[in-house]
Amino acid sequence: MERKVVFGPVPSRRLGQSLGINNIPAPKICSYSCVYCQIGITLNYSTERREFYSVKKIVDEVSDILKKLKDKGEKVDFISFVPDGEPTLDINLGEEIEALRQFNIRIAVITNSSLLWKEDVRNDLKKADLVSLKIDTVNRKIWEKINRPVRGISIDKILEGIKKFSSVFNGVLLTETLLVKGMNDSADLIKETGLFILSIKPSTAYIGIPTRPPAEIWALPPIEKKVLYAYEIFTGYGIKTELITGSGSGIFGFTGEIEEDIVNTVSVHPMSKKQIEKLLKKANNNWNIMEKLLKKEVIKEIKYQGEKYYIKNFSK
């Protein structure tokens, strides 16, 4: 059977209803072999751009699915290149984006940024409406340990490419930093990463943690305090920051809306005790709800710089 390249739509916090394009064939082809990769270790390392599917195949599949979705009354917010592998390895990426314009739906590319030193890659990405760049660290040694890049690429050239791209890109620029316990979660490394991200002025910087089974079982999420620290450092630099720490949608099955509101909010933004008290007051409610959530271990209390903060419990 011929392999399908289009999937979804799947709900995504960043992209709404996102129709995914898996423009890299299996088994995964990537320039990285991140320790937290959900697809396992990379067996096909590459930095060479080539054709995997014809532009026509991708456009025809998208057209077909959009027709079916329209009949069902379903909407799509983004057509997103989110393959199992690195999407910019597809030499037709720019042409595909141009051809998909006919559907009048915004187009997103989620890239690991490793090929942004190539001018042709930057030119292709410029055609998208939204680009999300992976920036786990700016420290060469840590980059080599977490992202395990293919031989022959340099982090200095990548960071330079990211800067060049961010200075000319007119669309929505996002960054994604995945924190791994004991690897890129120290105060110094987080500050370095934050300062670099600040310099490229993304619309939003996302801080994530390994949430699904990673390529290496030892690639664990940092303790909540470190994630809160990273959030505070980034926001302290003036970067609009959100957390991706597991489910942030209303799927917790609580009856009370305020409970759901609190859980959904602390999944994205840690909240101080004062902020929660204010919210509870507005909802004509009291601290009992927090006691219940803490007892159920849905959320966690963390002391940070003399204040109590609440954040989602990652292990739940």
* Segment 39 to 78, residues that bind ligand SF4, using CB under 6 A: 39, 42
- Please report, for residues 88, 218, 232, 241, 264, the alpha-carbon distance to residue 311 in angstroms, rounded to integers and kept in the order given: 35, 23, 12, 14, 10
Cβ–Cβ contacts within 10 Å for residue 38, how many? 12
Output the smallest distance, CB 255 to ligand SF4, in A.
37
Residues with Cβ within 8 Å of residue 295, at least 6 apart in sequence: none
Is residue 158 part of the contact set for ligand SF4 (CB under 6 A)? no
At residue 176, the 3 state secondary structure works out as strand
Least distance (Å) between residue 114 CB and ligand SF4: 7
DSSP state of 249: S
Q: Which of 8, 9, 20, 85 binds ligand SF4 (CB under 6 A)?
A: 85
- DSSP track, 7-36: EEEEEETTTEEEEEE--SPSS-EES---TT
Least distance (Å) between residue 74 CB and ligand SF4: 28
Nearest alpha carbon to residue 312 among 253, 192, 224: 224
Which 101-140 positions form the footprint of ligand SF4 (CB under 6 A)? Answer: 112
Binders of ligand SF4 among residues 203 to 242 (CB under 6 A) are none
Q: Where are the beta strands (DSSP E) in 179-313?
A: 204-208, 241-244, 271-272, 299-304, 307-312
User: What are the phi and psi torsion angles at 40 (to 5°)?
Assistant: 95, -175
Nearer to ligand SF4, 28 or 312 (CB): 28
- Pick 180 or 311: Cβ nearer ligand SF4: 180
Shortest gap between Cβ of 219 and ligand SF4 (angstroms)?
A: 11
Residues 23-42 interacting with ligand SF4 (rule: CB under 6 A): 28, 30, 32-34, 37, 39, 42
Give whichever of 100 and 135 is closer to ligand SF4, judged by the CB atom.
135
Q: Which SS3 state, helix, strand or coil, does residue 131 take?
A: strand
Binds ligand SF4 (CB under 6 A): choice among 61, 86, 124, 136: 86
Catalog residues that contact ligand SF4 under the rule CB under 6 A.
Answer: 28, 30, 32-34, 37, 39, 42, 85-86, 112
